[in-house]
């Protein structure tokens, strides 16, 4: 067999072949008509009431945190300048690393004060320090 015979055989394969049975009848019977959309049995006020309840809960929690007498009020600037040592020894290594990173970023910002990348890194470092302080408070 040579290439010409192979091509002739391939051309013969291009002829359409009729299926043994009509396939569309089975496909059509398998498809069910779409069910009509159900109307909501719950009244619309239920959604509004849940939003109002959540907003009241958020306001109540924020007021409770701002008026807690046992916690001293520390400004963000004062917290950023002090060296903090956690009571939990598992967090001490992370606190040292974050403090060193913050100091290095401040030195880099002195050389390039308008660098948005350094500003973002310093902001993220402060956020991580804040999260670490929260973890220390939760650990008690």
**Is position 71 within any domain?**
no
Mean pLDDT of 97-125: 89
**Is position 86 within any domain?**
yes
Comparing 74-83, 85-94, 106-115, the range with the smallest average pLDDT is 74-83
Cα 81 to chain centroid distance, Å, stands at: 30
How many domains does the chain fold into? Answer: 1
Residue 108 near residue 118 (C-beta atoms within 8 A): yes
**Is position 84 within any domain?**
yes
- Tell me the pTM: 0.40
pLDDT digits (tens, 9 = 90+) for 45-57: 777 788 788 888 8
pLDDT digits (tens, 9 = 90+) for 5-24: 999 999 888 888 887 888 88
Residue 36: both structure tokens together: 């009509």
**Is position 123 within any domain?**
yes
How far CA 1 is from CA of 8, 13, 43, 87, 91, in Å, comes to 11, 17, 78, 86, 78
Q: What pLDDT, on a 0 to 100 scale, did the predictor assign at position 13?
A: 87
- The range of the structural domain enclosing residue 110 comes to 76-139
């Amino acid at each position: 067999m040579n290439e010409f015979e192979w091509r002739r055989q391939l051309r013969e394969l291009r002829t359409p072949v009729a299926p043994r049975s009509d396939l569309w009848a089975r496909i059509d019977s398998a498809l069910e008509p779409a069910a009509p959309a159900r109307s909501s049995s719950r009244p619309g006020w239920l959604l509004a009431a849940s939003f109002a309840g959540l907003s009241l809960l958020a306001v109540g929690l924020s007021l409770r945190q701002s008026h807690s007498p046992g916690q001293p009020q520390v400004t963000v600037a004062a917290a950023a300048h002090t060296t903090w040592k956690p009571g939990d020894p598992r967090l001490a290594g992370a606190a040292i690393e974050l403090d060193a990173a913050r100091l290095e970023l401040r030195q880099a910002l002195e050389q390039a004060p308008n660098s948005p990348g350094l500003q973002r890194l310093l902001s993220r470092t402060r956020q991580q320090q804040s999260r670490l302080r929260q973890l220390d408070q939760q650990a008690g």
